[in-house]
Amino acid sequence: MNTMEKLFSQNKIVPVVVIDDVEKALPLAEVLLECGINNMEITLRTASAIDSIRRVAQNLPEMVVGAGTVLTPEHFSDAYEAGAKYIISPGLTHELLERGKSLLTKVRFIPGICTPSQAMDAANAGFNYVKFFPAEPYNAYNVIKALASPLPHIKFCPTGGVTVDNMAKYLELPNIFAVGLSSIVEGKLIAAGDFAEIKRRCEAAVAIVNNIINK
pLDDT tens-digit readout, 180-214: 999 999 999 999 999 999 999 999 999 999 998 77
Residue 41 structural domain: 3-213
For residue 51, what are the contacts with CB-CB under 8 A and spacing of at least 6? 22, 25, 82
In the structure, what pLDDT confidence band is assigned to residue 11 with cuts at 50, 70 and 90? confident
Residues 195 and 17: their CA atoms lie apart, in Å, by 13
Mark out the alpha helices in 103-194 (DSSP H runs).
Answer: 116-124, 140-147, 167-171, 187-192
How far is the C-alpha of 96 from the C-alpha of 80, rounded, in Å? 13
Q: Which one from 24, 85, 131, 155 is the annotated catalytic residue?
A: 131
Catalytic-role residue among 12, 24, 41, 155: 41
Per the annotation, the verdict on 41 as an active-site residue is yes
CA separation for the pair 165, 169 (Å, rounded): 9
Q: What is the mean pLDDT of residues 71-99?
A: 98
User: Where residue 130 sits, what CATH number does that domain have?
Assistant: 3.20.20.70
Domain count, the chain: 1
Residue 5 is predicted with a pLDDT of 80
Instruction: Establish whether 62 is a catalytic residue.
Output: no
102 pLDDT more than 80: yes
